[in-house]
Structure 1
């Protein structure tokens, strides 16, 4: 009876098993930390890429808007100049001069 109790007690607190359990715990903790850090890095990279894409889209929209405004202004100015040059009052003034 004493032998059985001592053998079961020694198997419970065997130093090698304790070291193995501690090592396994450390490995699991390190693995979880590595996975969490990897997920955070991926999320940050995706957020940065999305932000860059949004900035590029906004810049393209602004550039297109500026080009459209410039084209409209040029068309309006050309139309006004053509109307002024082709108006009868203007041609009459030049013919009288």
Structure 2
């Protein structure tokens, strides 16, 4: 069974390749604040869905298919809430001088 770190690395690679293939620009984000990025929270939701899926993916193609299926099941309300929280996140980050925030 893959570790959480390995799974996140696979998700990151697949998502990055997709964004590049679709010519979707992404914002640079401070390495010390990845939790401030809404996509990190979406990836966490995706990670939880993948971990609960049955059967467990036995190869990279099944894993990719599972990711694509679970991605479509993430509620738009979840994504909208994360987007709407950006102002609060940025204010909190600024007030913490780039340090730890509750997000």
- State whether TM-score is above 0.5: no
Could you state the TM-score of these two structures normalised by the residue count of structure 1? 0.22
| Structure with higher RCO (Cα < 8 A, 6+ apart) | 2
Bigger Cα Rg: 1
